[in-house]
């Protein structure tokens, strides 16, 4: 199956909002990523990314521009011997409200921690592998003052 997802890059005072997978995550335990996830039927792009960021962090965002598209594969949830493809968009988002909270999480997200990470320190953060290309592009654009 093919799924569409969005990942939110929320930056405040040179800090990037990140979430860490729990040790119980079956694919990437204890690794970091930015908030976001799969689109649900009937959602608009804006509704989806706002919902995902809120569920994972308690923070309310206003979606901004897309700056990167990529794909990755995960073990299939629908077939025994296959994989699912995730096609994703990375978007800049602005915080407009809320406070960091894990109280809105959905079962099965396997998240353990919310953290603001210094953009300058991102290269030392152990992220899930599929975040590599988008983090590299984010850093390139950030350093060039294009974000």
Q: What is the pTM of this model?
A: 0.93
**What pLDDT, on a 0 to 100 scale, did the predictor assign at position 7?**
98
Q: Which residues contact 114 (CB under 8 A, 6 or more apart)?
A: 17, 18, 19, 56, 57, 58, 100, 101, 102
Looking only at the bridges linking them, the beta strands covering 111-118 and 15-21 are: antiparallel
Q: From start to end of the chain, where are the E strands?
A: 2-12, 15-21, 32-33, 36-38, 59-75, 83-98, 111-118
pLDDT higher than 80, residue 78: no
Residues 5-34: pLDDT tens digits?
A: 999 999 999 999 999 999 999 889 999 999
Range of lowest pLDDT (56-60, 81-85, 114-118, 130-134): 81-85
| Average pLDDT across the chain, whole number | 94
Is domain 2-143 annotated with CATH 3.90.79.10? Answer: yes
**What pLDDT, on a 0 to 100 scale, did the predictor assign at position 74?**
82
**pLDDT: which is higher, 109 or 138:** 138
Model confidence at 108, pLDDT cuts 50, 70, 90, reads confident
**pLDDT: which is higher, 114 or 77:** 114
Question: What does the alpha-carbon distance between residue 19 and residue 31 come to, in Å, rounded to a whole number?
Answer: 9
């Amino acid at each position: 199956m093919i799924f569409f997802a969005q990942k939110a890059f929320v930056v405040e005072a040179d800090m990037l909002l990140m979430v860490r997978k729990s040790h119980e995550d079956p694919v990437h335990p204890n690794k970091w990523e930015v908030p976001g996830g799969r689109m649900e039927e009937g959602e608009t792009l804006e509704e989806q990314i706002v919902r995902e960021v809120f569920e994972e962090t308690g923070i309310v965002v206003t979606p901004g521009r897309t700056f990167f598209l990529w794909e990755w594969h995960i073990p299939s949830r629908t077939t025994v011997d296959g994989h699912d493809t995730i096609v994703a968009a990375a978007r800049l988002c602005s915080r407009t409200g809320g406070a960091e909270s894990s109280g809105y999480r959905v079962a099965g997200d396997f998240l353990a921690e919310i953290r603001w990470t210094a953009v300058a320190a991102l290269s030392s953060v152990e992220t899930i592998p599929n975040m590599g290309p988008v983090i590299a592009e984010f850093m390139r654009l950030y350093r060039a003052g294009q974000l």
